[in-house]
Amino acid sequence: RSKRRGRGQITVYSREIAQEMKQATQLEQALRTAVIADAVDVHFQPIVRLGDGAVLGFEALARWIDPDLGFVSPSVFVPLAEERGFIDALSETLLRKAAEAALSWPSDLFLSFNLSSAQLMDPGTADAILSTLARVDLDPRRLELEITETAVMTSADTAHRIITDLRAKGVKIALDDFGTGQSSLGRLRDFTFDKVKIDRAFVSRITTDRASEHIVKAIIAMCEGLDLQVVAEGIEEYADAEKLKALGCPMGQGYYYGKPMTGAATHRYLQEHRPALMVEGA
């Protein structure tokens, strides 16, 4: 009897898997169409100086609303494009749009852009990024690329070369989601980064969990010692911001300071958060 039930379960599971595969293929088709139609968008989330809330730059975040499927999260469609081998086309479109938006900001503001792990395994990535910047005419020194520890460690030699080539042109490299990936602190020493972004998982608990507070404190101290810039991600509350300031964290990002917004909305945001600069530019 149990054997039968076992077999039945296998049938149920394989149907579910088949269903999931069908959905993934539908999603893939819709995403490919959207990339070709230039229908995948970018939004921008401010990164601020915690001391006075001044905007220092924006992180580009991919946004896609399919006419049939509705809103699809980038944490679903970016991995899908990686698996199905068209992350290059998707990323190129996103970087072009993001760089075009960055051109309309004051020139001391940076653009932060997420690189996927598959791109760090592809030796053509540095050239592809630099040629997109050249086409849009955005100074590479205004670009920061966010990469994760795990991505760097997966294909260390290729990743190292890409990072070195890009840094030679003035592009900065930020370690995203720091503290959650698979890396040892020792291996981090082998790479040259400019910035560390402390993962939201620690930041969101900073006022309620002593361990998270100590971890954040230690990361800030380590970054100071290594001459790395440091940003706290996922600041949602006034109390989080105050705590981070007290710990000496120089920069932050999160819903408390601003949610991801359209390119047009960045101009309104800049008017409100950089009044001195807007007067200067007028």
Alpha helices in the chain, H assignment, sequence order: 2-36, 74-83, 87-103, 125-136, 149-154, 156-168, 185-188, 200-203, 210-225, 238-246, 263-273, 275-281
176, 220, 252, 270: residue in contact with ligand C2E (rule CB under 6 A): 176
Sequence-distant (6+) residues with CB within 8 A of 266 are 44, 46, 58, 101, 105
Q: Binding ligand C2E by CB under 6 A: which of 57, 234, 252, 263?
A: 234
- Contacts with ligand C2E: how many residues (CB under 6 A)? 23
Q: How far is CA 202 from the centre of its chain?
A: 17
Closest CA to 219 of 195, 238, 239: 195
Contact pattern from residue 208 through residue 247 relative to Mg ion, giving x for each residue in contact according to CB under 5 A and a dash for the rest: -------------------------x--------------
Q: Is 266 in the site for ligand C2E (CB under 6 A)?
A: no
- Contacting residue, 30, 35, 55, 78, with ligand C2E by CB under 6 A: 78
* Interaction of residue 73 with ligand C2E, rule CB under 6 A: yes
Residue 149 interacting partner from ligand C2E, Mg ion, none (CB closer than 5 to 8 Å by kind): none
Quick one: which of 46, 57, 254, 263 contacts ligand C2E (CB under 6 A)? Answer: 254
The answer to whether the beta carbons of residues 227 and 205 sit under 8 Å apart is no
Residue with the closest Cβ to ligand C2E? Answer: 254
Residue type, 89: A
Separation between Cα atoms, residue 107 and residue 118, nearest integer Å: 30
Question: Is position 45 an interface residue for ligand C2E (rule: CB under 6 A)?
Answer: yes
Q: How many residues lie near Mg ion (CB under 5 A)?
A: 5
- Exactly one of 88, 100, 194, 236 binds ligand C2E (CB under 6 A); that residue is 236
Q: Which of residues 108-167 bind ligand C2E (CB under 6 A)?
A: 114-116, 146
For residues 235, 200, 141, 161, the Cα torsion angle rounded to the nearest 10 degrees is 180
Question: Among 245, 246, 233, which residue's Cα sits nearest to residue 205?
Answer: 233
Residue with Cβ nearer Mg ion (149 or 176): 176
* Contact residues: ligand C2E, CB under 6 A: 45, 60-62, 73-75, 78, 91, 94, 114-116, 146, 176-177, 200, 234-236, 254-255, 260
